[in-house]
Structure 1
Amino acid sequence: MLDQRLGNVEQDYASIYSFKMTVQDMIQRSSANRPKRKPPFYFDGGAYASYNLTEVALNLNMIRVKKHQAREEENRVTEQRSFLIDRTESPNPPEVVEFNGRRFVRDYSGATRLKQIYGYSCQVCGCTVATFECVRADACGYAEVHHIKPLGSGHQGPDYPGNMLVLCPNHHAAFDLSTMALDPETLEVYDLEADRELHNKGPIFLHESGHDFDSECLRYA
C-alpha cells in the first residue's frame, strides 16, 4: 500500500517535471521579442503552477529512495516470515560424525565447591537461575564458573578458586566476549554498553568468609 501511494506521488512529480522541462524548452526556442506567458500554464485544460525544478527533482529522488527502502523492508519481512513460518517440511536430522580431539582434564570439585559457597548466585548481579530440581543436594539453581585467566588457547590459567568467578550465564558470556571486565585493584566490574562506553557496575559480591584472588590472574585479565 505504501509502495502504491509513493508510486502515485512519484508519477505526479514526474509529470510536473516533464511538463516544466517541455515549457522551458518552448520558451527558450521562442523569439526573444515574443511575449512570454506567465504561470500558471494551461495544458489540456489543466493548470500547472510554476515549480522550482531543483526542488521537484529533489522531491522525486526522495520518493524513489523511500520506495527503495519500502521494497527492502518488504523483502526483509518476507524472508523472515519464510524462515520462521513458511517451512512445509522439517529438515533432515543433523549428521553424526566421529572425531578425535584433545581437552583439558579438569578437577571440577573446586568449581563445584565455590558455586556451593556462593549459593549458585552470580557475583556480578546476585541472581540465581532457578531450576525445578536441585542440581546438588545442598543447593538449588544454576551458575557457571568463569576463569579470569583462561585455561586454554595459550593462556594456561590455573584451575583453582583464586582464578574463578561464579557467574550467571549472561555475565559469563559477557566476560568471555570481553564486554565486561574486572578492575584488578578495586574488584569493580566495568561493562561495555550500547553507547560503546565502559560503565562502572560496582564491586563484585564477595563471600563473608573472603575470596582471595590471584593477583597475577587479575592483572592478566
Structure 2
Amino acid sequence: MTDPPDTTPDTTPDTTPDRRPGGRTARIRAQVLDAVRAELAEGGHERLTMEGVATRAGVHRATVYRRWRDVGGLLVDVIDAAGEIDWQPPDTGSLRGDLTALNREIQESLVVRPSPALALMAASFHSPQAARAQTRLWADRYAQCEVLVERAVERGELPARQVDARSLLIAATAPLYHQLVLLRAEPDPRLPEQAARAAVLAAAAGAFFVPREADT
C-alpha cells in the first residue's frame, strides 16, 4: 500500500529568487543549508533525505523539492555556499608563513567534530552532482591561493622564473589530507609548518618551475 498524497497546505513563503538582500529567499536557503550540514554530520550521506532536511529546517517539504529537486541539488548548494564565503588567503609576509597559516586553517577544518568539510568530501563520492561542485570549489580555492606564490616571486623568495603555483600549493597542503583523511591519524600541531617548509625548500630548489622551451 502506498502512502496517501501529502495534502498539507504549503504555508512557507514563496522561494522565487528576489532582488532584496536577505529577504525570505535568503532566510529559507540558510535554514535549509544549515539543516543539510547538520543531517550530514549526524548521519552521513546515506541518511540524508529531503524529508529529514525539511523537518529539521522547519520548511515544508514541497518547498525543498521545488527549489532543490533532490539530495544532489542540496549537496551542490551547500558546496556552492562554501565558495560564496568572503575568504582571503593568508598574508603573513613570507611564503613559508602563508603556507603554514593556510595549512593550519585546513587542519582545523578537518579535525573539528563534526567536520562539514569531511562530510561533504564523503558525500561527493556518492553524488556526481556534488563531485562536480566539489571540483569547482577546490579549483577556485587553488586559483585564489596562487597569489601566495606570486607574492613570493615579487619578494625574491623564489627565482623569477615561471612557477607552477598549483603544483606547489598541492605539495604544501597534501600532507594534511594524507594524515588526517586517509590515515585518520591524530592531528600533529607541527605538521602545518613542516609541510609548508618542505614545499618552500622544494620550490626554491626548482621542483615546481615550468620548463622553458629552451630547456626541453
TM-score range, shorter chain: under 0.3
TM-score (norm. length: structure 2) = 0.20
Higher normalized contact order (CA 8 Å, seq sep 6+, divided by chain length):
2
Higher-helix-fraction structure: 2
User: Greater strand percent: which structure?
Assistant: 1
When Rg is computed on C-alpha atoms for both structures, the one with the higher figure is: 1
TM-score (norm 1): 0.20
